[in-house]
Amino acid sequence: PRLLWLIPSYIISLLIGADGMGFFKLFVSTLIVGAACSFLVLEKRLRLSMSEESFANDLIGIAGAVFYAVNPWVIIRIQHIFLLCGYALLPLFLYFLLEVFFPAQANAQKHPTQYVVLQIALLGLIFSASAGAIHYIFYETAIAVIVGITAVWKQHQQLSLRGILWRGLASLFAIGC
């Protein structure tokens, strides 16, 4: 997965005629912007439970995304570039994991099986892409187990046991466990 992270920045740096330092700056900038966008997607999903939408809530979400993308932990670890790849995708992993076990979209009610299969496939892609550093394989697996146990606990009366097991096993399969 590391090569897949590098190719877009490499192609862009070739097109603009950048040297090695320009390529590195472009790569780090891509990771920082990706982390902020990933956080905004998760924040928007978590905010669905709030009843009111306002400009102030959007500004708070953007401020949180900027802090998530550029904070002391990120700045100290710029030399560990592939840790930042997993860090950038962690909120997206959480988003798709929540969509598998606690769907919030209208499509989930209309076509539940197709929606869950799509979410599981996207979860697997995000998990694979964030495996640039082995740390995130363990972190995301632990998070998936915790969210799965929580889903079983909260939805044991709403879903059939078969439905819970199907989602849990399919999610573990998608992340390669």
List pLDDT tens digits, range 49-105: 666 677 777 888 888 888 888 888 888 877 788 888 888 899 999 998 888 887 776
Where does the pLDDT of residue 14 fall: very low under 50, low under 70, confident under 90, or very high at 90 and above? very high
CB 30 within 8 A of CB 9: yes
Task: Report the candidate in 150, 173, 34, 139 with the shortest Cα–Cα distance to residue 92.
Answer: 34
Q: What are the Cα distances from residue 162, in Å, to 87, 118, 134, 146?
A: 33, 19, 32, 19
The Cβ of residue 102 has, within 10 Å, a number of other Cβ atoms equal to 14
- Helix H or strand E encompassing 73: helix 72-76
Per cent of the chain over pLDDT 90 is: 14
Question: Alpha helices of the chain — where are they, by DSSP H?
Answer: 2-16, 20-46, 55-69, 72-76, 81-101, 106-110, 112-129, 135-155, 161-174
pLDDT mean over 127-144: 83
Q: Which pLDDT score, from 0 to 100, does residue 8 have?
A: 87
What contacts 158, CB < 8 A, 6 or more positions away? none
Distance in angstroms (rounded) separating the CA atoms of residues 130 and 86: 4
